[in-house]
A and B are shown apart, each in its own frame.
Chain A
């Protein structure tokens, strides 16, 4: 089973709202990732967690706040977003850290976010 689940599937929020995206995997993977994907573009890395610790933050604005409560869960807390933050947010996981052992990343279906 290589399933990564994400909720919600769609989210519409105003610029003053606070919302959270959730990602879950039960493959025993120890690395988890958040990507942002704009239409007709490749995914862009936002954050990487390795063994529940944040290991990479790709200079993401503080209005995006990741959290890894345990090895199976990854959240992305959203606050005071801008319309340009509207995108597909993808979660991924891998057995170990990317590049460290020829790891394969498995992606979830994504959350399609619209900021009004």
Chain B
């Protein structure tokens, strides 16, 4: 069935370091792909999305490109800040149901 696999955390970085969080998916069709972020004690916020192959989603310095050939949607940011500390969820939609989430990756950024 359809699924999302993302790298296990926690990821610990110093401020201004480069961030990559890997995400791969399995799907029978061509789902839309999403990254959501959850700050401590809060709900999920949409960070970025891509709806078709080769689309690049971007927001707040974060980027991810929909790669059909590698079934991936890796999240990157060139220079992280302490305020980026949160849990990041990769997700895909599936026709007829709702979002399928990865297990989440906790990012901790220290100054």
Q: Which residues of B contact A102 (CB under 8 A)?
A: 32, 51, 93
Known: A48-B98, A107-B43. A41 touches B103 (CB 8 A): yes
Which residue from A6, A40, A42 sits with its C-beta under 8 Å from B102?
A42
Residues B101 and A43 in contact, CB atoms below 8 Å apart:
yes
A102 to B106, CA, bound (A): 27
Chain B residues in 8 Å Cβ range of A87: none
Across the interface, name the chain A residue whose C-beta is closest to B89: A42
Among candidates B31, B45, B102, B103, residue contacting A107 with C-beta atoms closer than 8 Å: B45
Q: Interface of chain A, helix or strand or loop or mixed?
A: loop
Give every chain B residue within 8 A of A92 (Cβ-Cβ): 44
Interface code B46-74, partner A: CB below 8 Å = 1, 0 otherwise? 10010100000000000000000000000
Determine the distance from Cα of A95 to Cα of B97 in the docked complex, in whole angstroms: 14
Q: A42-B102, A109-B42, A109-B43 are in contact. Are A104 and B49 (CB under 8 A)?
A: yes
Min distance, Cβ B88 to any Cβ of chain A, angstroms: 11
For B45, what are the chain A residues with a Cβ–Cβ distance below 8 Å? 107
In chain A, positions 35-92 with a C-beta closer than 8 Å to chain B are 40-43, 45, 48, 56, 88, 90, 92
B interface residues, Cβ below 8 angstroms from A: 31-32, 34, 36, 42-46, 49, 51, 89, 93-99, 101-104, 106
A-B CB contact pairs (8 Å), 7 listed: A6-B43, A48-B97, A56-B97, A90-B43, A100-B96, A102-B93, A105-B98
Q: Other than A45-B98, A99-B97, give 9 A-B pairs with Cβ distance below 8 A.
A: A43-B89, A48-B97, A48-B98, A90-B44, A98-B97, A99-B31, A100-B96, A105-B99, A107-B44
